[in-house]
Amino acid sequence: MFKKLPTLPKLQQHLLSLLVSVSGIVCSIVLSYAYYLIDTNSVNIALIFIFFLILVSCNTVGYLYGIVCSLIAVLCFNYMFTYPFFTLNFSISGYFIGFLCMTAITVLISTLTSHLMIQSNLAAEREHQLAEAEMEKMRANLLRAISHDLRTPLTGIIGNSLTYLENQGHLTEDEKADVVRNIYEDSSWLINMVENLLTVTRIGENNLTITTSEESLEEVVGEALQKMGKRHPECVIHAKIPDEFIMLPMDAVLIEQVTINLLENALLHSGSSEPIDFIVENRPQEVAFIVRDYGHGIPKHMLNNLFSGTPSSTLEADVHKGMGIGLVICKTIIDAHCGTISGRNHEHGAEFTFTLPKKKEERLPEEGRV
C-alpha cells in the first residue's frame, strides 16, 4: 500500500494524512495494550508500534506526520509499557536511542515511498504522453487517408460531369448512361466514406473509449451481412457462425461497420469474383472474425502499413482503389474495443482477422488493411 494522496488537493492530502496518523497511533496503542495483557514482552510491543509507524509513513505526505507519530509512539511506549508504569521516565537507558531508531525508520520509509510515488507519477505521465502521441498519429493518418480517398471520387465526379456538359450533343445514349453511372458510383462511394467518418465520431475525441453493452453475436453479424447484400447484390459470401448463443460486450453499430468495411475490401480489392469466406470462431478468451478472399492478395509493400492510412503511390486513380480510410477506421474501432486486427496473405488471396474479448480488458492491438 503506497501513497496515492498527491493526486488529491492539498487540503484533502493533509486531512487524510492526519486521519491516517491518528488512526495508526490509536490502533498501535490498543493492540499493544491488548498484547501486554497476554505477554509483557516489551520487544514485541515495540515491533507493533514500528509496524504502525511504517503504515503511517507509507500513507501520509511528507515526513512530518511520520516523525510526529514516532515521537508519540516513543512517549506512549515509555508511559504505558515501561516501569514505572503510567509515568514518563526519561532516565531509562536506551530511551534516546529508541527514539532515534523509530524516527530513522519513519524517515527512511517516507523517503522510499516518496521516491516510488514520484516514479509512479513519471511513468503515468509518460504513458499519457504516449497515448497522446498515438492519438495524434491516428488523427494525422485519418486526415491523410481522407484527403486521398475523397480526392479520387470527387475528381471522377467533376471529370464525368464536365465531359457530359461539354460533349452531351456528341455522346451516344450508351455513352451518356456510362457517364451518369460513373457519377452515381463515385457519389455512392463518397456516401460510404461519409458513413465511415460519422461512425468514427461515435468514439471519444480525447481517447479510444466507447460505451459497450452485451450484444448477440448472431444478430450483429446477421445485420452486417444483410446490409452488405443490399449494397452489393452480386456479392457471394459463405458465412460460418458458431451454433452456440454468444453475447459480447460491444458497440453493435461500430462492429457492423468494421465487418462491412472488411467484406467490401474483399469484394472491391481482391480482383476476384470468387465467393468470400466469412468465418466467426469462438475462442476461450475472445471471438475471432475472419474475412478471407481468393484474389491476388495484398501487395508486399503494403503489408506493414495496412492500417497506417498511408495511400500507396502505385495505386491507380480509381474510385475503388482508395487505400487508407476504411482500415484506419476499422483499427480505431477495434482498438476502442480492446481487440486486435491484422491482415495477411494466404496461399490463394488475402485474409483479415479481428478479435473481440469476451470480457472488458486493456491490451495492445495488433496491426492489420483498408
pLDDT greater than 90 at residue 139? no
**Each residue's pLDDT tens digit, 320-336:** 444 446 787 788 889 88
Residue type, 17: S
Is the peptide bond between 84 and the residue preceding it cis, with omega within 30 degrees of 0? yes
Cell of 89: 521516565
pTM: 0.52
- What's the mean per-residue pLDDT of the chain? 78
Among 52-66, 222-236, 282-296, the range of highest mean pLDDT: 282-296
20-34, 121-135, 187-201, 356-370: range with lowest mean pLDDT: 356-370
Per-position DSSP letters for 290-303, written without gaps between them: EEE--SS---GGGG
User: What are the b/e assignments for 45-78, b being 16+ CB within 10 Å?
Assistant: bbebbbebbbbbbbbbbebebbbbbbebbbebbb
Q: What percent of the chain has pLDDT over 70?
A: 78
- How far is residue 198's CA from residue 220's CA, in Å, rounded to a whole number? 19
* pLDDT for position 212: 83
Among 13-27, 103-117, 149-163, 316-330, the range of highest mean pLDDT: 13-27
* pLDDT for position 362: 47
CA atoms within 13 A on the CB side of 208: 25
pLDDT: which is higher, 246 or 4: 246
- Give the 3-state secondary structure of residue 350: strand
Domain over 202-357 is classified CATH 2.130.10.10: no
pLDDT band at 6 (very low <50, low <70, confident <90, very high): low
Contact 326, 196 (CB under 8 A): yes
36-45, 150-159, 316-325: range with lowest mean pLDDT: 316-325
CA atoms within 13 A on the CB side of 291: 27
- How far is residue 268's CA from residue 10's CA, in Å, rounded to a whole number? 60
The domains of the chain are located at 5-127, 202-357
65-74, 132-141, 357-366: range with lowest mean pLDDT: 357-366
Cell of 50: 514500528
* pLDDT for position 355: 95
